[in-house]
Amino acid sequence: MKGSSLSAQASGSRHLPHVLLGSGPTPGFHDRDEAGRSLGTRLLPFRASSPVILGIPRGGLPVAAEVARALDAPLDVLVVRKLGVPWHPELGFGAIGEGGASVIDADVISMAGLGPSDTQRVIREETAELERRIHLYRGGRAPVPVKGRTVILVDDGIATGGTVRAAIEVVRRRGADRIVVAVPVAPPGTVETLRHVADEVVVLRSEEPFLAVGQFYDEFPQVSDGEVARILAGSEPVVTPGSADDPLDRTVEIDLGPVRLVGDLVIPTGATGIVVFAHGSGSSRHSPRNRSVARALNGVGLATLLLDLLTVEEELDRANVFDIELLASRLVSTTTWLHRQPEARDLWVGYFGASTGAAAALMAAAELGAGIRAIVSRGGRPDLAAPRLADVTSPTLLIVGGNDRMVLELNRQARAMLRCPNQLEIVQGATHLFEEPGALERVARLAAGWFTRHLIRTPGKMTPQGHRMAPRE
């Protein structure tokens, strides 16, 4: 087992100190969302390792969602079930998880006087419930791959740790390279135990007396199965039927001479077009929002390349993040590289840009002309490419949240400079990151429709070109 370390951080100014009242310590967090934001801040050093965030249902998902947002990392669920003594359900004699993983405490079984028939009945019942929840939460979607990755397991708190130990075993069996357990609260004894099975344990508050996880929250309502499914649906749009079998799916290194960029390339069988993603400021190829859109595009048979246009060292200089000319030149060079790859050289190319990445995409498209067949901008800043907007010939779709008023106005102004076929789609009620229920799914559908129209070739069909389209506001 790799070396473990405990990161226990005293609560900040927003958290009251530990004091004994009639019912125990003063709560440390208002609710799970606040706890998740605090935990996300504490975990920021892990962002460079491009982690996968796995929430333990049900209460761990709201916390994990905030962590994934802070780290700009993919979010998934890891379903595990506690095995409770039949006449004392709160007393667990073990836990089970996906893939047949289990943790059994023989001492508890002996102490409780459980016979083989008792334990097997509980295991059968909990296995059925495990499978039900997996289907309900994911809706048939495959788990986010964790092989070779850093995985951060998140819950709203830990009491005895049996469920988390099962979760750790599940993730190890799936090939994770490093496992970090991260929770807002846990008792010192449990933390010490977990240090021997996880690679690292991050806890914001670890203190005694520890009566229950809920004592550290002002508001601690139950989280429903529907809420878990909604959180996951907000991070992953439903893939359109018709996904190709056995797509090419690999991480690539793009040699641009002075630098090497890293990207994730997916090419479904039979793809005729590929969408290259240009991420916004402070984001990366692991952006859960852009990966959600990419999965939707893969679902309609389009290839995708999500890449980091800057190296880790370059990102440390914030000026590079807003250097649109530098980002655009990297995008042009990446497109040239792509055409040299045997599996991608015949694919029509489109760009998907978010925030400042949209400006880079438009500037690169102005340079490449007819070589870029379509562009989609999500919450983009096309105004930052103003000097080259009139040179863009690629059909362009601008998607903006209706409540993102400043960016919406900037998009309207930039659109007036475009001479290419273009369209403005406003997602009503959405803000800049499209975090509202259904907003990101709307973005994915709009993008899939636009790129399908312009990148998918059928016999006798060419890329449509037309007049300037009216906005759909």
- CB 125 within 8 Å of CB 156: no
Angle at 101 between CA 98 and CA 106, to 5 degrees: 140
Give the pLDDT of residue 235.
Answer: 55
Domain boundaries, the chain: 6-235, 248-455
Among the four given CATH numbers 3.30.470.20, 3.40.50.2020, 3.40.50.300, 3.30.420.40, the one describing domain 6-235: 3.40.50.2020
pLDDT in tens, 412-463: 999 999 999 999 999 999 999 888 888 888 898 899 889 988 997 644 444 3
pTM value is 0.50
pLDDT class of 273 with cuts at 50, 70, 90: very high
The total of other beta-carbon atoms located within 10 Å of residue 463's CB is 16
Mean pLDDT (the chain) is: 83
Q: Is the pLDDT of residue 16 over 70?
A: no
Q: CA–CA distance from 338 to each of 256, 287, 334, 450 (Å)? A: 12, 21, 6, 21
Amino acid, single-letter form, for residue 372: I
Which residue would you say has higher pLDDT here, 223 or 243? 223
pLDDT in tens, 43-59: 999 988 889 999 999 89
CA 458, chain centre distance (Å): 33
Return the CATH class of domain 248-455.
Answer: alpha beta
Q: Do the domains at 6-235 and 248-455 have one common CATH topology? A: yes
